[in-house]
Amino acid sequence: MQVSPKEIISLIALTSFVFLIAPIFLIRYVLLYNRKKKKHEEEKKAMVKTLETELLRTQMEVQEQTLKTIAYDLHDNIGQLLSLTTITLSSIDLDDRSKAAEKIALIEDLTARSTKEVKALSRMLHSEELLSRGLFSAIEFELEWMKRSDRFRINFVKPTFESFNNDSGKETIMFRLFQEIINNIIQHSKATEIFVNLEQIDGTLKMDIRDNGVGFDVAETLQRKNGMGLHNIKKRAAIINGTAAIESRRGTGSSVSITVPY
């Protein structure tokens, strides 16, 4: 079958068109790919910067909360022990040796308790050192401190599994989330009992904190200015790729569940 000159010209034109268009599409694809790659890198850098900024702010807040706890305890606990020591010292009657001996023994006991409290306070002062022992130990130490107030019944079983490996940033944010939730309970809930549970579920770490307090309307609180604390909990959980579920009803206490990749 003979091919006409017209068909040959058409074939040449089609081939030339394909060879011209193909590089254009290839160049366009490469440009789009590079643009997307650049955008991804910029987003990644922005996320890293956001995480670093949030981590720095969180570390400062952990220290601030620690200092507040120390200030309260200095006033309410150690101050009381030292005042009692002073009163006991001033009431010693050296002429009554038996009673004087009893009071001196009491003073020794009060002094030993004060020394123990001061040592515990010094450990709390170094929040980095506290977290260096692991997230679970830091939480346990904080809850033990709360038990001293005799204001709350604390229900906490320290997990047997390890906390985050080589991820101090994530541990710091998790610890600050814990502190923030506990602080909300202390200030607003009027609770008498606090339950803290940590467990592994399908590749995630779940931290549940609930109380038997007065409860609140979650939707209503989120809409008000004082709902920023709840928004902050959700935002911080999202920064470490986690989620925060807040449940509460008036008169039934409240529950906060933080779930993060583990």
- Residue pLDDT tens, the chain, 262 long: 555 666 667 767 667 666 677 777 777 777 787 788 777 777 777 776 676 677 667 767 766 666 666 666 666 566 766 777 777 777 878 778 778 888 888 878 878 777 777 766 666 565 556 667 788 888 888 888 778 767 889 999 888 776 666 666 788 888 888 988 988 888 888 999 999 999 988 888 899 999 999 999 888 888 876 666 788 888 888 888 889 999 998 888 999 999 998 7
Both tokens assigned to 134: 């692991």
What is the 8-class DSSP label of residue 78? I
What integer pLDDT is reported at residue 209 of this predicted model? 96
Both tokens assigned to 108: 């020794």
**Partners of residue 201 on adjacent β-strands:** 204
Unique residue bearing structure tokens 């009491």: 106
What integer pLDDT is reported at residue 128 of this predicted model? 58
What is the 8-class DSSP label of residue 194? E
Both tokens assigned to 33: 């790919």
Amino acid at 58: T
Q: Is 252 strand, coil or helix?
A: coil
Pair type for strands 204-211 and 243-248: unpaired
Q: Which ranges in 74-96 belong to alpha helices (H)?
A: 79-90
Domains of the chain: residue spans and CATH: 7-125 (no CATH), 134-262 (3.30.565.10)
Whether pTM > 0.85 for this model: the answer is no
Both tokens assigned to 204: 């995630």
Burial class (CB in 10 A: 0-12, 13-18, 19+), 113: middle
Distance CA 36, CA 44 (A): 12
**Partners of residue 195 on adjacent β-strands:** 155, 210
The residue among 206, 248, 204 whose CA lies nearest residue 229 is 248
**Partners of residue 192 on adjacent β-strands:** none
